[in-house]
Amino acid sequence: MWLRVIAQAVADATDGPIMKGGRIFDDAGRRVDPRQDARDWILVADDNFLAVCDLAGVSPDLVRQAIQ
């Protein structure tokens, strides 16, 4: 399951929706960019990302390299 979470995040970060004129908003009414959110989760030192990689048995560095 955790490997699938990582695979989805990589897909979202690299092939996610490019918003052209469309708007996606969060509960607070702020505009959301799903591609950037996925990239931030992977690239920023995030304890949740590191935990998911550990549970999946995947190197966080390799995942980060996959989207750069």
* Per-residue confidence (pLDDT) for residue 39, from 0 to 100: 92
**What are the pLDDT digits (tens) for 8-39?**
999 988 876 555 555 677 678 777 778 888 99
pLDDT of residue 57: 97
**What is the pLDDT at residue 22?**
53
Q: What is the pLDDT of residue 17?
A: 57
CA-CA distances (angstroms) from residue 13 to 8, 28, 29, 47? 8, 23, 22, 18
